[in-house]
Structure 1
Amino acid sequence: MDFDPYGQFHPTGDQHWMRSRSEVLARTCPFSPSASNEDQIAADLFPAAEPHETIGRFIAAHVGYVATGGFRERGSSGGMVSWVLEELMRRGLIDGAAHVAPVAEPETDGRFFRYRISRSPDEIREGAKSRYYPVEMSEILREIRANPGRYAVVGVPCFIKAVQLLRRQDPLLRERIAFTLGLFCGHMKSARFVESFAMQMNVPIEEVQAVEFRKKDVTRPASTYTAELTLKDGSIQKRDWWNLVDGDWGSGFFQYEACNFCDDVIAETADISFGDAWVEPYTSDGRGTNVIVTRSPVVNDLIQAAIEDGRLCLEPVDEEFVVATQAAGFRQRREGLSYRLTWPKTGLKSVKRVRPAAPESRRRRLIYRTRALVSRWSHRIFWLTQRTGNPILFIRWSKSAMTFYHALAYSRGELGKLLDRWGLT
Structure 2
Amino acid sequence: MKKLLSPRDIVRSGLCIGCGSCVAQTSPDTAQMAFDKYGELKPQGFHVWYRNVSESFTRTCPFSPQARNEDQLAAPLFPEAAHSDSKIGRFQKAYVGHVEETDFRLQGSSGGMVSWVAAELLRKGFVDGVVHVKALEDPQQNGKFFQYELSRSETEIRAGAKSRYYPTELSGMLRLIREIPGNYAVVGVPCFIKAVHLLRLEDPVLRERIKFTLGLFCGHMKSARFVESFVWQMQVPVHEIKQVEFRHKDPGRPANWYNARLTLQNGTKVNKDWWHLADGDWGAGFFMNSACNYCDDVVAETADVAFGDAWVEPYSSDGSGTNVVIARSSLIESLIDNAIQEGRLQLKEVDCRFVEQTQAAGFRQRREGLAYRLTWRQEGIKPCKRVAPDSKSQTKLRKLIYRMRFYISAASHKVFNLARKTNQPWIYIQWARLTTSVYHAITYNQGKLGQLFKWLK
Residues 39-118 of structure 1: matches in 2 within 5 Å?
39-49=71-81, 50-118=83-151
Q: Which runs of 5+ in 1 are unaligned?
A: 416-425
Cα distance in 1 for residues equivalent to 2:448 and 2:350: 29
Distance in 2 (CA, whole Å) between partners of 1:319 and 1:310 is 24
Q: Is 1:178 matched with 2:215?
A: no
Runs (5+) with no aligned partner, structure 2: 1-32, 450-457
| Distance in 2 between residues matched to 1:167 and 1:365, nearest whole Å | 38
Superposed displacement of residue 326, structure 1: 0.3
> Identity percentage over the alignment?
59
Residue 420 of structure 1 aligns with which residue?
none
Q: In the alignment, what sits opposite 1:346?
A: 379
Which segment is superposed worse, 287-296 or 385-394? 385-394
Q: 2:399 aligns with which of 365, 368, 380?
A: 365
- Deviant stretches of 4+, over 4 Å: 412-415
> Please, what is the CA RMSD of the aligned residues?
1.3
Q: Show the counterpart of 1:332.
A: 365
Aligned length: 415
Structure 1 Cα separation of the partners of residues 326 and 394 of structure 2 = 32
Three-state SS of the structure 1 residue aligned to 2:96 is strand
Query: Which residue of structure 2 aligns with residue 423 of structure 1?
Result: none
Match of 1:148 in 2: 181
The structural deviation recorded for 1:51 is 1.7
Q: How far did residue 413 of structure 1 move?
A: 11
Secondary structure at 1:11 match in 2: strand
Partner of 1:133 in structure 2?
166
Q: Distance in 1 between matches of 2:239 and 2:417?
A: 17
CA distance in structure 2 between the aligned counterparts of 1:253 and 1:89, rounded to whole angstroms = 37
TM-score, scaled relative to structure 2: 0.89
Confirm whether residue 398 of structure 1 aligns to residue 432 of structure 2: yes
Offset, 1:346: 0.4
The match for 1:419 is: none
Query: CA offset at residue 21 of structure 1?
Result: 5.3
Aligned match for 1:36, one of 57, 62, 68: 68
> How do 1:305-324 and structure 2 match up within 5 A?
305-324=338-357
What corresponds to 2:8 in structure 1?
Answer: none
> What does 1:212-291 correspond to in 2, within 5 Å?
212-291=245-324
1:17 is aligned to 49
Q: 2:442 corresponds to which residue?
A: 408
- C-alpha displacement of 1:411: 3.5
1:18 is displaced (CA, Å) by 3.3
CA distance in 2, matches of 1:85, 1:34: 32
Post-superposition offset of 1:20: 3.5
Question: How far apart are the structure 1 equivalents of 2:339 and 2:86?
Answer: 29
User: Within 2, Cα distance between the matches of 1:84 and 1:36?
Assistant: 27
Tell me the SS of whatever aligns to 1:57: strand
| 1:208-240 Cα shifts (integer Å, max 9, x gaps) | 010000000001000000000001111111100
Whole-Å separation in 2 of the counterparts to 1:310 and 1:262: 37
Q: Offset of 1:54 from its aligned partner?
A: 1.6
Which one of the candidate residues 25, 30, 35 is aligned to 1:3?
Answer: 35
SS in 1 for 2:213: strand
Deviation at 1:412, TM superposition (A): 7.8
C-alpha contact (below 8 Å) 2:163/2:246 kept by paired residues: yes
Distance in 1 between residues matched to 2:296 and 2:261, nearest whole Å = 31
Match of 1:377 in 2: 411
